Structure 1
Amino acid sequence: MFIDKANIHLKAGKGGDGAVAFRREKYVPAGGPAGGDGGKGGNVVFIVDEGMKTLMDFRYKKHYRAENGEDGKNKNMFGKDGGDMILKVPPGTIIKDEKTGVILADLTEKDKPVIVARGGNGGKGNSNFKTSTRQAPNFAIAGEAGEERSVILELKLIADVGLIGFPNVGKSTLLSVATSATPKIANYHFTTIAPNLGVVKTKYGDSFVLADIPGLIEGAHKGTGLGHEFLRHVERTKLLIHVLDSAGVEGRDPIEDYEKINEELKEYNLKLWDKPQIVAANKVDIPSAEENIVRLKSLLEGKNIQLFTISAATGKGIDELMVFAAKKLKEIEETITVEATIDEEEKLYKFKPEEEKLFTIAKEGNTYIIEGNFVERLVNSTNFDDMDSLAYFQKVLRKRGIIDELKELGIQEEDNVKIGEIEFQYYD
């Protein structure tokens, strides 16, 4: 079964805590601070594996976590960095943030790893806080929490040319004749429930990837049937071959079919509707096709769309169709690439630490509640029984603008301030 969408949860590793330690060497009775820094937490990294074709693995395992960094050690020894969690996906996988819908990564090339959840930085050991007036700091900084997010993986097949059309018009047969692909073929609707790929090699030595896109139906743009899943695969193709049943074997009108399919593309995404098309009128070996071929020629004359009459069953006209498709591909601008399939509002997100809000302050009665990974980590790193550690705590609150924001919110002397489980009174 072809799985082209999966929801998973990612958690990067937490940075190791800095150590509080002192030199205890022989003949050094009053050794200085010797606490090492914590190691960095591991990242969650995605890479392309060209041997993968589906997202099947992510259907059964939903949670992925990178290793935490190791805590700092005595003798100024740094903790070991946490190992990255490496996740392999098929080429053409898009990763979206589940909460915001922002595209985090568009993976099309191998050997280009993308970090989707960053590990936390390691904390600082007490040896970092030694000064001329603070000879024996009795505090260290805890490691940062790693990023945590739920993401949606979407696989869009990468093909140069896509075969579109209503079910049972002969797309799978055409693919099997034009390439070495062996799609399942039978005489009923929705035979193809997953796109099939094959490589076309023309008699002139040109080659391209051809995809048999599952049959569309009316209402596909609204999600009717498997509409959205099918239309998703059309987005990456550069050229479309619109296959029609020119004989009307099932009582269908190829003119109406042509217009309905294009309307579905237009309603789903205007970029799909604008893609270059070639029309392949299939089943011309059946006598009833002649009249419809005349009608199709009349319809397409003013649309600057090339019409080919073919028979997937006998092979008639297929070589000419594929040669023309290869030529058309060369004419298509190079700008029609994977990137062009992404809407302008879905801009690729780049991690920028400075964008992250370090804290938030909310007021409840006379209590000001400060929240955020940064301030919670600061509290956890503070030894409130040690004057040096407490002085450092207050210094950081001022430096990061927390005191200024409390004043803007109207804090008064002796009002309560709460960070995590710690509550204290404010004095300027």
Structure 2
Amino acid sequence: MSDSSNLPAPKSSLVFVFLVVLIDMMGFGIIMPVLPKLITSITGETISNAAVYAGWLAFAYAAMQFVFGPIIGNLSDRYGRRPVLLGALAGYAIAYTLMGFASSLIWLFAARIIAGIMGASFSTAYAYIADISPPEKRAQNFGLIGAAFGLGFIIGPAVGGILGEYGTRLPFFGAGVLAALNLVFGFFMLKESLPAEKRRAFKLARANAFAALKALNGQNKVVFWYAAALTIWMTAHVVFPIIFAFYLIESFGWSELRVGLAFAAVGLGSAVVQGGLIRLLIPRIGECNAAILGAVGMAVSCVLYVVAGQGEGWLIFIAIPVGAIQGLFQPSLNGLMSNAVSDDTQGELQGAVASLQSVASVIGPPMFAAVFAAFTVAGGLYYLPGAPFGLAGIICLIALLIFLRGYALHRTSTDMKPPTDTKGLAA
């Protein structure tokens, strides 16, 4: 039985996990500016039809995450976080390399399936944070994961745009190298966060999204509402990684470099909000108000993207910083959910959340890609490249309403501890 006193100090552990996620997201961000060109070069299709293929590639990735997310989360509860994170990194290195060599759509789909199977590592990263964070600090520390996402999207797309100027496939090989380097880093630097006395047996019967959600709902009803809100919000949020590059190319004819810099600007805003602003705002306005602000910020930015695509390109430079406020939503919900369940089910919680988010990623990409194609294809009824963002804004507001219902139940619940937030509804 391991001694929890041998675990790394919280600050050093946070740095380790931050860097692991940062390098992962750099690898992911590198490929975003050049994916449209890779698909069009392989298929010979227009940008509108290439977006549809991109949507189904994202569908394959998300479907695998839906199946394997709870399995990965439960394995981390049984064997610890470290081996799960390292295994996922190895899978990413293989997947990105396959995409670099892809000569057909079959290769691309095979690579995305592998990445999807291994891509549940983010749920384990959240569980790692939960292991080493006191309840009142979890939302802020979850924000560090969001900041790593943001910084990854600053560095990764910018590098991808630069590398894309020298070859469409070069960024994919760069992403594979980053994942491999991250694996080496994690092997030597990442320490285990879950002591043996807090581990539990792995049961395949509960290692699926439906069983995990049922188990969490059995603890209290609040988590169900929070998870539903987060799932619907993620359905709206996936419009950015799936459609943004295609939207910029179709609306403004931007090059890979300019697309990469636009993604980098989005990442910069996310890093500022989730790495710094969230730590200032949550203690002052509470998790509930922070989530509301994040949802409203996303909805407003979506409206701006719709208008910008109609010849008002300068609005892009307003939409990006306004949209960065959405970074408040997910960490706030993750903190509220994490505080609502027991310590020995944190991995199960995050695995279930990952699978629910995968449901959003299964539904969202084909839907948004179909909307984009319908409103940009030659001979269509109406030309509106920003249409997917308009739909995303509506979905985001629906998620906000569901969250508010769950939060109201949380504050009035008598069979569980109240939220640490004291500045929410009816405060």
Max Rg structure:
1
Q: Name the structure with the higher helix share.
A: 2
Query: TM (normalized to structure 2)?
Result: 0.24
Query: TM (normalized to structure 1)?
Result: 0.24
